[in-house]
C-alpha cells in the first residue's frame, strides 16, 4: 500500500485517480445514509432491545452488506416493509466496478444522480467532483440502469405468475415485496433472503438463477453481445418530441 500512495520522489503523496475518488465518495455516502436510515426504521423493531452500541454496529453492518457480502445480523423476515424496500434500493445499486459485488454499481448511480442534478439546474454538462463527464458515460449509465430495471420487473412478474398464479391480492398480501426482494437480491448477487426462496417451486428457483446469471454478467453486456454491430448507411430526419 505504501508503494501505491508514495511517488518515486520521497515523502510526496500520490493523488488518487478520479475514478477512485468518485467511488470512495459515493460509497461513503451510501454507508452513512444507509446506516442512519436502517437505524431509524428498525429502532422500534428488530434492534429495539439491544444496547445502543449494538444498534449502531448492526445498522452499519447491514448498510454495507446489502451491497456486498449478503450476511445478516438480524432476521430479514421480520424487518419492516420500509426497511425491506430501502434494502432493495441498496442492493440494486450494489458494489463498485471491478469488485465481486453485483448491482448497477456505485458509479452508475452517481452518474445518474449527477445527470438529474444537472437537468434540474438546466445545465447541459454533467459534472462530478469538478470534472465533466462525456456523453458516452452518461448514456451508458442510463442504459445499464434501464436494462437492469427491465430485467428485475420481468423476473418479478414471472416469479409472481408461476408462484402465485391467479391468487387475489388480498390472499397474497406481502408476497409482492418479498418476491421483489428475492429478485433484486439475486440480480445483485447479494444473497440476502426473507425466506421465500426456500419455499419456491423449481420454476421459481430457475427464474432466480437466471436473474442471478444475468446480474453477474451485466444486462448491458448481454444486450451488446446479442445485438449485431453495423454502421447505418443513412440517417433519418430529426424531429422534436414533447416529453413529460
Sign of CA dihedral 182, 116, 221, 28: negative
- Per-residue confidence in pLDDT tens, the chain, 244 aa: 455 555 555 556 678 888 899 999 999 999 999 999 999 999 989 898 899 999 999 999 999 999 877 888 899 989 999 999 999 999 999 988 888 888 899 999 999 999 999 999 888 899 998 899 998 889 889 988 999 999 999 999 999 999 887 777 777 777 899 999 999 999 998 989 998 988 899 999 999 999 999 988 876 676 566 556 667 777 878 777 877 7
According to DSSP, the β-strands at 126-128 and 131-133 are: antiparallel
What global pTM score does this model have? 0.87
Domain ranges in the chain are 2-226
In the chain the first and final C-alpha atoms are separated, in Å, by 50
Cell numbers linked to 50 = 439491544
169 in Cβ contact with 124 (< 8 Å): no
Backbone angles phi, psi at 75, to 5 degrees: -75, 115
- List 6's β-bridge partners, or say none: 13
Please give the Cα distance from 211 to 148 (Å, whole number): 10
- List 133's β-bridge partners, or say none: 126
Please give the Cα distance from 103 to 211 (Å, whole number): 12
Amino acid at each position: 500500500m505504501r508503494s501505491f500512495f508514495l511517488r518515486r520522489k520521497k515523502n510526496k503523496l500520490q493523488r488518487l485517480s478520479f475514478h477512485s475518488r468518485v467511488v470512495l465518495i459515493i460509497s461513503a455516502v451510501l454507508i452513512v445514509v444507509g446506516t442512519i436510515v436502517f437505524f431509524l426504521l428498525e429502532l422500534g423493531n428488530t434492534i429495539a432491545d439491544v444496547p445502543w452500541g449494538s444498534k449502531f454496529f448492526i445498522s452499519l453492518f447491514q448498510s454495507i452488506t446489502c451491497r456486498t457480502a449478503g450476511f445478516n445480523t438480524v432476521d430479514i423476515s421480520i424487518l419492516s416493509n420500509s426497511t425491506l424496500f430501502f434494502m432493495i434500493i441498496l442492493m440494486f445499486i450494489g458494489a463498485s466496478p471491478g469488485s465481486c459485488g453485483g448491482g448497477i454499481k456505485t458509479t452508475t448511480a452517481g452518474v445518474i444522480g449527477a445527470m438529474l442534478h444537472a437537468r434540474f439546474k438546466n445545465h447541459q454538462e454533467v459534472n462530478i467532483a469538478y470534472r465533466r463527464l462525456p456523453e458516452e458515460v452518461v448514456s451508458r449509465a442510463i442504459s445499464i440502469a434501464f436494462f437492469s430495471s427491465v430485467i428485475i420487473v420481468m423476473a418479478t412478474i414471472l416469479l409472481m405468475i408461476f408462484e402465485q398464479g391467479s391468487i387475489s391480492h388480498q390472499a397474497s398480501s406481502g408476497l409482492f415485496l418479498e418476491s421483489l426482494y428475492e429478485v433484486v437480491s439475486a440480480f445483485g448477487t447479494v444473497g440476502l433472503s426473507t425466506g421465500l426462496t426456500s419455499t419456491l417451486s423449481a420454476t421459481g428457483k430457475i427464474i432466480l438463477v437466471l436473474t442471478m446469471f444475468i446480474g453477474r454478467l451485466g444486462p448491458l453486456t448481454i444486450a451488446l453481445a446479442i445485438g449485431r454491430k453495423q454502421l447505418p448507411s443513412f440517417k433519418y430526419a430529426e424531429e422534436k418530441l414533447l416529453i413529460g
